[in-house]
Structure 1
Amino acid sequence: MMWNEDREGYYRLSIFCLEAADLIINPAATFKEKPDPTGLVFGTVFSDNMLFIEWSLASGWEKPHIKPLENLSVHPAISAFHYAVEPRGLTEAKLLHMLWLNEYTLFEGMKAYRGADGKIRLFRPRLNMDRMLRSAMRATLPGFDKEELLECIRKLVEVEKEWVPYSTSASLYIRPTLIGTEPSLGVKKPSKALLYVILSPVGPYFSTGSFNPISLWADPKYVRAWKGGTGDCKLGGNYGSSIYAQREAMELGCQQVLWLYGEDHQITEVGTMNLFLHWQNEDGEEELATPPLDGIILPGVTRQSILDLAHKWGEFKVSERYITMSDLIAALKDRRVKEMFGAGTACVVCPISTILYQGETLHIPTMDNGPKIATRFLKELTDIQYGREDSEWTVEVS
């Protein structure tokens, strides 16, 4: 087979080779004990099996396999460990032992939920496939057929259905991961890659609980992403490089970093979440605002879902707009801020209570009168995820 090295042809041929119909299922013969869903710590327990798909420039995607979860055996010079197609801070030992450090080349985060009716559902998984393909193209890793990969993931969850917690406060976290595996130290597009998916039953992301407010540290000396960078892709380097700032935030008594950008200290994201502000804006309008997708903001699935719900309600202005710290401080002084919250797959919705900024602790009145909007979004989203409300946003597994 001839492989066209141009961008369009390269991805077209790569996509052609991944087919769910070729899936080979050789599941584990022995099974680990399932954990108590009330005591789960995020990303520390893994299911019995994984999805494993290799790719090379010479032959494209190999047949996908579902097989017992195991360590990876790789050459120490693979491109996942070096240069522009690697996450910062990754060591071979971390990858080989499958530690959950968010430092892979690129990855996705999605969940499977067990409803009260016993059915298992995925929540808007095609948005995850869209984002993963965009990330792959940005990292010069191989493209794939999104529907075929989604079907392979659905089959994996079906095989591992007993790992989906019997709980409406827990879920099965799904981590598709794509890394370059060419054994070469050259700075170039890798000619070999590995796509794998691992599963982890999870409870609340934050140790404080599923809906307790968090405190933020905002300091412009660190940035999460920049114009022309990869902030709008789910690449490992975006996360590994944030750990130092996160540690400093915790030393200052805060739980997460509020990432700022530019000379005017634009508010961008909170920790690994998108951010929303419910307030009375400068024109006196009730508004739900979130930073725009300008290249430095990750297009979160929960973010898009909140925007879609808010537009559907039609009860207040919904905006994707820039918000600076000076805008927020002025609104706090004028008592125009109603609620501020983060949103993401891991936490769904997380209220914000304080922001430490330039030596001053800003009180955010999210919880003062009850976080009505944040609570409403959380309820509506989880009702859909756990099947209490029918929605075209879900894909049934079984």
Structure 2
Amino acid sequence: NRITVCPTLLSVRLSLCPLVPLVPLRPQPKPDPSSLVFGKHFSDHMLVINWSEAEGWDRPQIKPFQNLSLHPASSALHYSIELFEGMKAFRGADNHIRLFRPMLNMERMHRSATRSSLPSFDKSELLQCIKKLVELDQDWVPFSQSASLYIRPTFIGTEPSLGVSRPSKAMIFVIVGPVGPYFATGSFNPVSLLADPAFVRAWKGGVGAYKMGGNYGPTIAVQSEAVKRGCQQVLWLYGPEEEITEVGTMNLFIYWTKPNGEKELLTPPLEDGLILPGVTRQSLLDLARSWGEFTVTERTLGMKEMLSALESGRVLEVFGAGTACVVCPVGSLLYKGQTFQIPIEKNGTKLAERFYKELTDIQVKTPTRVTLQHVRLRLESHDLESDLSGGT
């Protein structure tokens, strides 16, 4: 096998050693960027780091992409002691490869690990290991502004025991692959949502704010139910007030006119722990506040208030946001057997399109105009070439 070594430990800050290919690897053919299906293609290599309570973090290895070997009693397989992240690397117009605000992903991964009773890790060193993997497989970053390299860090408990307890063994592994649009409808076609209070994604005091696989698997049956009812995604509601929380696997935004005539961008808050603190969510809030053109609010919103605003014609746009899809407009809601149209034929999707363009321009470094917020988001992004060569 070809094995490449990263830092010696993730618990102590150490400089990275160089990549040392031991055995030549025959690269796989790269797929056509225009025909990419999300999550179906993977690069030539993967990152694997093992941990044990007795020895701490083992030496990280970048090795050929391969199946994992796990004990049948591994705690991740029985009790879902695991978590994952989702981030992207982009090839800019200048041919530089950049990771978009990756420390936000590392920080969220660290919080999820704590909640999952998985061991702590050095966020910066793990990010450096991920960059080494992307550097090695940089040919897999598409030469396309409509495609990117999706990065999937995963953290699992590998305790070989059926006892329900904190694992004494664990593994971080990272796989990457080129991706195109997340939805089959395309990157910017409106989706229809099923809003049914009979189904709940998360609850107060639970783990809805953490990126654990256990939050996603149970939603598949509800997603299938939405498709049966002629919808493409689910609008998740919570509690007696039917609070709007997330849409599918995305954070939700509503752009409307308040009763006093003031325009407002509204998204559910993080405080209740019902929604995932998305990197794209935070980026859109940062951009909107930097524009200063309308009120930006994070607060709870129930279906009653939402339907009232739709009936009075105050809703301008509704859209989801996430790393996989970036921005996705909503065209309609199916609630208690009645379809409510979002007036995009009248109002268009101007704000969603503006967010999409501004964010993707920052990611590929081709903004038509530069603002202080552009500069801030760029600084929080990581240029692969300069980072690995010791630059800023």
Fold shared by both chains (TM-score > 0.5): yes
Question: Which of 327, 330, 334 pairs up with 2:308?
Answer: 330
Match of 1:281 in 2: 258
Q: Separation in 1 of the partners of 2:178 and 2:115?
A: 30
Equivalent residue pairs, number: 366
Q: Separation in 1 of the partners of 2:123 and 2:20?
A: 20
Q: Alpha-carbon deviations, 1:103-154, whole Å to 9, x = none?
A: xx20000000001110001000000000000000000001111110111111
Q: Alpha-carbon deviations, 1:68-117, whole Å to 9, x = none?
A: 0000011100000112x44xxxxxxxxxxxxxxxxxx2000000000111
Q: Separation in 2 of the partners of 1:378 and 1:173?
A: 18
Q: Which amino acid aligns with 2:124?
A: E
Give the drift of 1:38: 0.3
Q: Separation in 1 of the partners of 2:149 and 2:192?
A: 27
Question: Which of 140, 165, 185 pairs up with 2:162?
Answer: 185
Structure 1: stretches of 5+ with no match in the other structure: 1-13, 87-104
Do structure 1's residue 340 and structure 2's residue 335 form an aligned pair? no
For 1:292-331, list aligned pairs within 5 A.
292-293=269-270, 294-331=272-309
Question: Which of 103, 106, 119 pairs up with 1:129?
Answer: 106
Q: Is the 8 A contact 2:269 2:300 kept in 1?
A: yes
Match of 2:4 in 1: none
Q: Secondary structure at the match of 2:149?
A: strand
Q: Secondary structure at the match of 2:304?
A: helix
Question: Which of 17, 27, 42 pairs up with 1:46?
Answer: 42
Q: Alpha-carbon deviations, 1:318-362, whole Å to 9, x = none?
A: 000111111111111111000000000001000000010000000
Do structure 1's residue 254 and structure 2's residue 231 form an aligned pair? yes
Q: Which amino acid aligns with 1:166?
A: F
Match of 1:80 in 2: 76
Q: Is the 8 A contact 2:280 2:321 kept in 1?
A: yes
Check 1:192–1:365 CA distance in 2 against 1; reply closer, same or farther (3 A cut). Answer: same
TM-score (norm 2): 0.91
Q: Separation in 2 of the partners of 1:314 and 1:246?
A: 37
Check 1:304–1:146 CA distance in 2 against 1; reply closer, same or farther (3 A cut). Answer: same
Q: Separation in 2 of the partners of 1:67 and 1:154?
A: 14
Match of 1:394 in 2: 381
TM-score (norm 1): 0.89
Question: Which of 52, 59, 64 pairs up with 1:56?
Answer: 52
Match of 1:140 in 2: 117
Q: Secondary structure at the match of 2:347?
A: coil
Q: Separation in 1 of the partners of 2:78 and 2:149?
A: 31
Q: Secondary structure at the match of 1:182?
A: coil
Q: Alpha-carbon deviations, 1:181-238, whole Å to 9, x = none?
A: 0100001000000000000100000111110000000101111111111000000000
Q: Separation in 1 of the partners of 2:19 and 2:91?
A: 25
Check 1:195–1:367 CA distance in 2 against 1; reply closer, same or farther (3 A cut). Answer: farther
For 1:133-282, list aligned pairs within 5 A.
133-282=110-259
Match of 2:33 in 1: 37
Q: Separation in 1 of the partners of 2:218 and 2:235?
A: 15
Q: Is the 8 A contact 2:256 2:315 kept in 1?
A: yes
Q: Which amino acid aligns with 1:338?
A: L
Structure 2: stretches of 5+ with no match in the other structure: 1-8, 368-374, 386-392
Give the drift of 1:381: 0.2
Do structure 1's residue 67 and structure 2's residue 54 form an aligned pair? no
Q: Secondary structure at the match of 2:379?
A: coil
For 1:350-369, list aligned pairs within 5 A.
350-369=328-347
Aligned-CA RMSD value: 1.5
Q: Separation in 2 of the partners of 1:233 and 1:20?
A: 30
Moved over 6 A (4+): none
Percent of aligned pairs sharing the same letter: 61
Question: Which of 86, 106, 128 pairs up with 1:109?
Answer: 86
Question: Which of 359, 362, 385 pairs up with 1:381?
Answer: 359
Q: Secondary structure at the match of 1:173?
A: strand
Q: Which amino acid aligns with 1:39?
A: S
